Structure 1
Amino acid sequence: MKPAVWPVAALLIGYPLWWALGLGGLAVIVLAVPMSVVLWRRRPIRVPKGLGLWMLLLAGYVISAVTLAESPEGTYGELGPGRIIGYLVRLAVYASLVIMVVYLGNLTREELPQLTLVKMLGVLFVTTVAGGLLGVVAPGFQFTSPLEIVLPEWLSGNSFVRNLIHPTAAQVQHVLGHSSPRPEAPFEWANAWGSNVSVLLIWFVVGWWAYGGPYRRVVAVALLALAAVPVVYSLNRGLWIGLAISAAYLALRGRPLLVGAAAALAGTVFLLSPLSSIVAQRIDSPHSNDIRAFTVSSTVRVAASSPVIGYGNTRNAYGNQRTITTGKTSWCDECGHPPLGSDGQLWLLLISQGFAGALLYVGFFAGAVRRFWHDRSPIGQAGTLVMILVLFYMFIYDGLISALSLYLISFALLWRNAEEQAA
């Protein structure tokens, strides 16, 4: 392995270690430091088309700090450590992702071949499946990370920070009317696991099927069959729809026989297994729909009062979808203050950066789809599919933190592939 490649390998192959240390997705912030040093020594550096939109998004987020202390109508809360920490973490992530993309694009093909980067993502897919299986068989598994130990209580006890630094195998929720584990290891939330496994699956298939020999393909089929267990037990409808979109995309791009055969095999195994009853129960239990409808409508209303720069971070709403009463009580366990902007990256952008920030985000990924659509190589088609999934997932998943890293690595793969073909 070339010396300049170690930060990339440390992020993707070494992700379980970052998770165990309590850093997880925050590793991209740490590794942006050595990446910056290498880039500084390699000046002049190249940047991809479209990155200017991300830079504007970053600049807009810096400006949005001036509204952090404001409490728009329908929300409550004063400026405190939690709001400031959330803002600074997101700002650091946005900036670190710029460095990571530029770093990947400026590594030569001799230093980091495309297929090597794809295989690193495939290793992280295997890690994600292992974490998902851990969440299914041992949902109560958790431990105090070293970072959690050294941080002061006022910081480690913050709910946002705790989700990032406290390793857990699963979130136990009442999605089906009873306690059900939803895998999340080695990521920060169950929804993050769902988003990430679908993106990593794409790159795993490219590395182990499209560019793999007979042995690798047999292993790939076995691993994909194993992955179906945590995918179903995740109770993640967004993930299931994302997989359907992926299948439709592959059929559209000229692989209908492969998609048809895989779908027939997966459908047969699925119907003959206990997993089908779990899916049926999840579809019949859309408990989160009312919550999402309330928070989304409230987010749009609040964002309209600061459409250009937003409010820098999320806000808590008065009341919820059931009652105007705030806070849990003995007779209303589900009452509380739902955070606005927590139901998807689009809604987070609306409240934190206004409609301008949301448009820049959409423009960045939609522009990537437009520019790279005609790249019909396996990497080109896979990367374009990820960009499409980003535009779908932004309605239901918060991209921060680990998900955005995978989205931007996929963007970098597309950029590197286009330059390789043009050379």
Structure 2
Amino acid sequence: MVFKSGSSLVSSNPSRMSKVPARAVMGSLPSWPMTVLLAGFPLWWALGAAPFAPIGIAVTMGVYMICRGKLILVPGLLPWFAFLLWAGAAAVNLPDAGTAMGFAQRWGSLAAVGIFMLYYINAKENLSPTRVLTGLGVIWLTVVLLGLCAMVWPEFRLQTPIGSILPGSLTRNPLVYDLVFPPLAEIQQPWGAPEPFNRPAAPFPYANSWGVAFALLTPCALCLVVLARRWWTKAMILFVLTISLFPALATSNRGMLLGVAVGTGYVMIRVAARGQVAKVAGLVLVVVGVYSALIASGALGNILGRQEYSDSTSGRLSIYDATLAATFKSPLLGYGSPRMDATIGISLGTQGYIWMLMFSFGFVGLGLFLYFLCGGILRTWDAPGSAGLWLHGVLITSLAIIPYYSLDVIQMTALGLAMAILLRARAFSESLQLTAPEPLDNGNSITYPLSRGLGRQ
């Protein structure tokens, strides 16, 4: 094992005690895989590869880290991999091959998010916080623009190259069909409703996924506003943020509104605690404006009106009750994946990420995930500057949303990278405004050799 000491690496092998510059020993990881992952997201969606591309890119990142031969770990990261190992062990309870395919996709996405966090931690010389946040900003912009398109062309469905080459046996599955031939909007007309509800969904198959992505990515956009050096960049982001209210309100998504409210309120309280009265006043004006828009646009009435025809709250409670009762019968490893319950006509382990984790991976799996998330929140409590507080708000927002909605790979990537940015900033005393490489110094990390015997020691 090799521990970092100051600006050099000191080996535990007495014969190799001479200090060597960190840059020379560690080498450097390229930034392009992360850029392709984040900035390339609109292309992946257009190709129909959005659900699968992150796993392939994660493999590329893993190969780069293995070939480099060293791995940096920072405090707060290991709980994720403990959760990942436990989730993998839950595969022993899968009932059939079809369920195993869904499990492989889900577990592969979780593993990919772990690799993204590791790669960001280890690519310190080439991956600055602003570069990653800009990539997340591209995804946010894609979500907003496609949401606006969904309001104009709600019935449009994208015909993708990958969808066209998949066999019909796969695309006949409704979920697969929506993933590879993604609609712009989720059109719902509950029984008794006088007209359908057109809820923006793209670049995701469902409106709830759009709402979760919007809630988690909007703090990243506000972080970019703080970090931007040019006034016109700030103005452009704020303009997009303003028009994003139209598709956001059109989703009539209560969980999204709750997440945004909790995250924004949290940041306001933390900013006030730091004595920055002017910033708090500005945030209050924004909140008042959003609330006024909710009433003036009739969106609040639409949200309440949709509940008159679709009582999802009472339905969710019955699902949660059945999910909890079933998990007590397999409390350690769970069932591997959600399963259909014929008595209520819906799969247990759905309608909320916490319930999926609990049902699929048992109480231990749920506990490990919450340990990672809540432990990371506490560990990065002293987030640097206003930009750090907005990133910390991503973690708080996710904690408010996961009881009600699930997290897909893009939403998990936003959460994981926000956590990684804060953990790396804490471990290396790194400024979030960093645009140039910094040396790998500071003693708050541990470096492991990965390729002993491959000539990369």
Does residue 68 (structure 1) correspond to residue 94 (structure 2)? The answer is: yes
What is residue 398 of structure 1 aligned with on the other side? 406
Letter of the aligned partner of 2:235 in structure 1? Answer: V
Deviates more, 1:15-24 or 1:412-421: 412-421
Kept after mapping to 1: 8 A contact 2:323/2:348: yes
What is residue 108 of structure 1 aligned with on the other side? 124
Shift of 1:199: 1.4
What is residue 372 of structure 1 aligned with on the other side? 380
Equivalent residue for 1:92, pick from 108, 112, 118: 108
Where 2:52 maps in the other structure, the secondary structure is helix
Distance verdict in 2 for CA 1:241–1:284, change over 3 Å = farther
Shift of 1:284: 5.1
Distance verdict in 2 for CA 1:48–1:28, change over 3 Å = farther
Distance verdict in 2 for CA 1:67–1:3, change over 3 Å = closer
What is residue 140 of structure 1 aligned with on the other side? 155
Does residue 317 (structure 1) correspond to residue 341 (structure 2)? The answer is: yes
What is residue 332 of structure 1 aligned with on the other side? none
What is residue 217 of structure 1 aligned with on the other side? 234
Shift of 1:59: 1.5
Does residue 343 (structure 1) correspond to residue 351 (structure 2)? The answer is: yes
Shift of 1:80: 4.5
Identity %: 27
Distance in 1 (CA, whole Å) between partners of 2:221 and 2:229 is 10
Give 1 or 2 for the bigger CA radius of gyration: 2
Distance in 2 (CA, whole Å) between partners of 1:304 and 1:212 is 53
Distance in 2 (CA, whole Å) between partners of 1:162 and 1:50 is 38
Kept after mapping to 2: 8 A contact 1:12/1:120: yes
Distance in 2 (CA, whole Å) between partners of 1:263 and 1:37 is 45
What is residue 331 of structure 1 aligned with on the other side? none
Map 1:283-302 → 2, pairs under 5 A: 287-302=311-326
Letter of the aligned partner of 2:339 in structure 1? Answer: R
Shift of 1:180: 0.7
Distance in 2 (CA, whole Å) between partners of 1:351 and 1:274 is 38
Task: List per-residue Cα deviations over 1:43-87 (Å, max 9, x = no partner).
Answer: 211123233222222212222111112xxxxxxxxx352x12111
Distance verdict in 2 for CA 1:85–1:163, change over 3 Å = farther
Equivalent residue for 1:8, pick from 34, 42, 65: 34
Equivalent residue for 2:364, pick from 351, 356, 360: 356
What is residue 139 of structure 2 aligned with on the other side? 124
User: Which is bigger in relative contact order (C-alpha 8 A, separation at least 6)?
Assistant: 2
TM-score normalized by structure 2?
A: 0.82
Letter of the aligned partner of 1:205 in structure 2? Answer: L
Distance verdict in 2 for CA 1:290–1:265, change over 3 Å = closer
Kept after mapping to 2: 8 A contact 1:138/1:169: yes
Distance verdict in 2 for CA 1:53–1:356, change over 3 Å = same
Does residue 20 (structure 1) correspond to residue 46 (structure 2)? The answer is: yes
Distance in 1 (CA, whole Å) between partners of 2:175 and 2:409 is 11
Distance in 1 (CA, whole Å) between partners of 2:409 and 2:172 is 19
Where 1:112 maps in the other structure, the secondary structure is coil
Equivalent residue for 2:171, pick from 156, 171, 174: 156
TM-score normalized by structure 1?
A: 0.88
Distance in 2 (CA, whole Å) between partners of 1:96 and 1:86 is 15
Distance in 1 (CA, whole Å) between partners of 2:165 and 2:220 is 36
What is residue 424 of structure 2 aligned with on the other side? 416
Distance in 1 (CA, whole Å) between partners of 2:110 and 2:295 is 42
Equivalent residue for 2:67, pick from 18, 41, 63: 41
Distance in 1 (CA, whole Å) between partners of 2:384 and 2:360 is 37
Equivalent residue for 2:213, pick from 169, 181, 196: 196
Deviates more, 1:393-402 or 1:168-177: 168-177
Does residue 257 (structure 1) correspond to residue 272 (structure 2)? The answer is: no
Kept after mapping to 2: 8 A contact 1:192/1:402: no
Shift of 1:280: 4.2
Deviates more, 1:211-220 or 1:60-69: 211-220
Shift of 1:133: 0.8
Task: List per-residue Cα deviations over 1:155-186 (Å, max 9, x = no partner).
Answer: 23223333332221011113693411111111
What is residue 240 of structure 1 aligned with on the other side? 257
Distance in 2 (CA, whole Å) between partners of 1:245 and 1:286 is 25
Distance in 2 (CA, whole Å) between partners of 1:378 and 1:45 is 30
Distance in 2 (CA, whole Å) between partners of 1:263 and 1:300 is 36
Letter of the aligned partner of 2:369 in structure 1? Answer: Y
Kept after mapping to 1: 8 A contact 2:226/2:387: no
Kept after mapping to 2: 8 A contact 1:380/1:417: no
Shift of 1:269: 4.0
Map 1:303-314 → 2, pairs under 5 A: 303-314=327-338
The count of residues paired between Structure 1 and Structure 2 equals: 395
Shift of 1:120: 1.7
Shift of 1:216: 2.3
Letter of the aligned partner of 1:200 in structure 2? Answer: L
Distance in 2 (CA, whole Å) between partners of 1:157 and 1:414 is 42
Deviates more, 1:151-160 or 1:128-137: 151-160
Task: List per-residue Cα deviations over 1:130-151 (Å, max 9, x = no partner).
Answer: 0111111111111332222222
Distance in 2 (CA, whole Å) between partners of 1:396 and 1:277 is 21
Kept after mapping to 2: 8 A contact 1:379/1:413: no
Kept after mapping to 1: 8 A contact 2:223/2:391: no
Shift of 1:349: 0.9
Q: Which runs of 5+ in 2 are unaligned?
A: 1-27, 272-278, 431-441, 443-457
Kept after mapping to 1: 8 A contact 2:76/2:423: no
Where 1:307 maps in the other structure, the secondary structure is coil
Where 2:244 maps in the other structure, the secondary structure is helix
Shift of 1:222: 1.6
